[in-house]
Amino acid sequence: MSFAEMKKKRGDKLQNLLKETAKLNAPSQGRGDDDRFWRPELDKSGNGMAVVRFLPAPDGEDLPWSRSWNHGFQGPGGWYIENSLTTLGQKDPVSEHNSQLWNSGIEANKEIARKQKRRLTYVSNVYVLKDPANPQNEGQVRLYKFGKKIWDKLNDKMNPQFEDETPVNPFDLWEGANFKIKIRKIDGFSNYDKSEFENPTPLDPEETKMEEVWKSEHSLEAFTDPTNFKPYAELKEKLDRVLGITSNTPTPTSNSFDAPFDGGKPMTTPHEPSVVESVTTAESAGSIGNTEEYSYFAQLAEQE
């Protein structure tokens, strides 16, 4: 599709996106060392800011975001950091395992299932307008991985809650809006509540520049391509190895509390996993073992 055709058809884009968000609201790919990805850098106090523009779907693709589920936790056999087959609507061994733990009625098992639950991740193309910590990123098209908090900001822009608010397609090059990412550290977690959209405006006064930006986008469909997901049997073998599961393992019985989890079928484990729930100090990070894996999952945890 040409740039001119994309511009002509953009009037239908918001309605199409609203249909897709309705599907998502109805009852990861991308490792941290991938230089296509960008994320705002935090200062020593845990705060950060940047300004980006969410971009439309890449040429030949339908949606300006990808949506996937992943797991990240550590057991006695190492880290389990994998994409969940539930992204593809298929059975996943971790979801099955969590289902059995939850349905056991044992509070400690519910806590384990909660720590092993899947995480929702979105990826979109963004144009970096302002990055004070790393100005060299400004003017670049990068992939931005984000969680539910940022997604809610996008969704609220497309689906405003009040009658006096006009729906805006934040992914539109002409009538979208720049997004101010404002990150504060609250109780050890990154908080995005202060992030906000500016007033709608074209990305650039020159359409030739906007076309150049659009043609620089990265594919998003690749993140949900079935060929990028490991088969069930391979994931099951890794899960058993990470958790030290054997055919006669007992079930833990300590106290905890109820929490939502993923669905699935039975298995058992005697081990309680550790999971990164916030960005910690260098000392605590070093105690985890594989710093590359820790760093990757710490980023996922921070984005929720």
pLDDT band at 8 (very low <50, low <70, confident <90, very high): confident
Q: What would the mean pLDDT of 8-21 be, rounded to a whole number?
A: 67
Torsion angle of alpha carbons 262, 187, 284, 273, nearest 10°?
-20
Give the integer Cα–Cα distance in Å for 30 and 79: 17
Q: State the Cα–Cα distance between residues 188 and 32, nearest whole angstrom.
A: 21
pLDDT at 90 over 50: yes
- pLDDT (0 to 100) of residue 290: 43
Token digits of residue 32: 């941290």
Q: 271, 76 in Cβ contact below 8 A?
A: yes
Question: Global pTM?
Answer: 0.72
| 11 has a pLDDT exceeding 70 | no
**Among the ranges given (12-26, 106-120, 194-208), the one the predictor scored with the smallest mean pLDDT:** 12-26
pLDDT tens digit sequence for 277-300: 333 222 223 333 344 444 444 454
Question: What is the residue whose two structure tokens read 């850098």?
Answer: 41
Among candidates 107, 30, 115, 20, which has minimal Cα distance to 73?
115
Average pLDDT, rounded, for the chain: 82
And the tokens for 298? 């710490």
Amino acid 276: pLDDT: 42
User: In degrees rounded to 5, what are phi and psi of residue 37?
Assistant: -90, 150
The single-letter code of the amino acid at 95 is: S
pLDDT band (50, 70, 90) for residue 191:
very high
Q: What is the pLDDT of residues 28-75, one digit of tens each?
A: 333 446 899 999 999 999 999 999 999 999 999 999 999 999 999 999
Q: How far apart are CA 181 and CA 192, in angstroms?
A: 7
In this prediction, residue 272 carries a pLDDT of: 53
* CATH code: domain of residue 84: 3.90.198.10
- Whole-angstrom Cα distance, residue 157 to residue 165? 9
**Count of structural domains within the chain:** 1
Mean pLDDT of 197-202: 97
Asked whether 290 and 78 are in contact (CB, 8 A), the reply is yes
Q: 148-158 and 13-25 helices cross at what angle (nearest 10)? A: 130
**Alpha-carbon distances, residue 44 vs 153, 190, 217 (angstroms):** 26, 13, 32
- Enumerate residues 6+ apart whose C-beta is below 8 A from 160: 166, 167
- Give the Cα separation of 35 and 246 in Å (integer): 39
- Going by C-alpha positions, the residue among 109, 126, 74, 116 that lies closest to residue 95 is 116
Please name the residue that has the structure tokens 């806590």. 111
Range of the domain at 161: 3-302
For position 167, what pLDDT does the model report? 95
Q: How many residues does the chain have?
A: 304
